[in-house]
Amino acid sequence: MLSREKTGRKRGNMDAKYLAEIRAREQAAAVHEYDGITDLIYGRDVKALLAEVERQDQQITTLKKALEIMAMDLYECDDLSNPAIQNALENYIHQASEQEGKK
C-alpha cells in the first residue's frame, strides 16, 4: 500500500474533518427548520454537498485501487510493498498532479 505521506492520507484526515463539519451543519439546519425557508433550503444544500463529497471519496478510493492493480500488472508482481511498485505509484501520482496543475 502507498505510504501515508505519498497518498494524501493527511488530506484524507482533512476530508474527514470537513465531512464532520458538514454533517454537524446539516444537523443544525434540521433542528432549526422552524426558523424559516432559508434553513430548509440550507439543509437540502448541505445534504447534496455531503452526498457529492462521499461520491468523490469513493471515486478516489476506486482510482487508487485501479492504479495499484495497474502497477502490479505492469511489474508482474502481486506485492504492493515491492519497492519498484511503490516507486511506480509515486511517479504516476506525481505526473498526474503535475498535469492537473497545468489545467
Residue range 27-51: mean pLDDT, rounded: 64
Mean pLDDT confidence for 9-34: 66
Confidence class of residue 24 from pLDDT cuts 50, 70 and 90?
confident
Cβ-in-10-Å burial (0-12, 13-18, 19+) of 89 comes to buried
Amino acid 19: pLDDT: 79
Q: Say whether pLDDT at 17 is over 70.
A: yes
Q: What type of residue is 62?
A: T
- Among candidates 10, 30, 18, which has minimal Cα distance to 56? 18
Q: Check whether 40 has a pLDDT greater than 60.
A: no
Residue 38's CB: how many other CB atoms inside 10 A? Answer: 10
Average pLDDT taken over every residue of the chain = 76
Task: Indicate whether 69 pLDDT > 80.
Answer: yes
Please check the confidence at residue 2 and state whether its pLDDT lies above 50. Answer: no
DSSP SS3 for 59:
helix
Domain ranges in the chain are 4-101
Q: Is the pLDDT of residue 12 over 90?
A: no
The CA distance from 81 to 91, in Å, is: 15
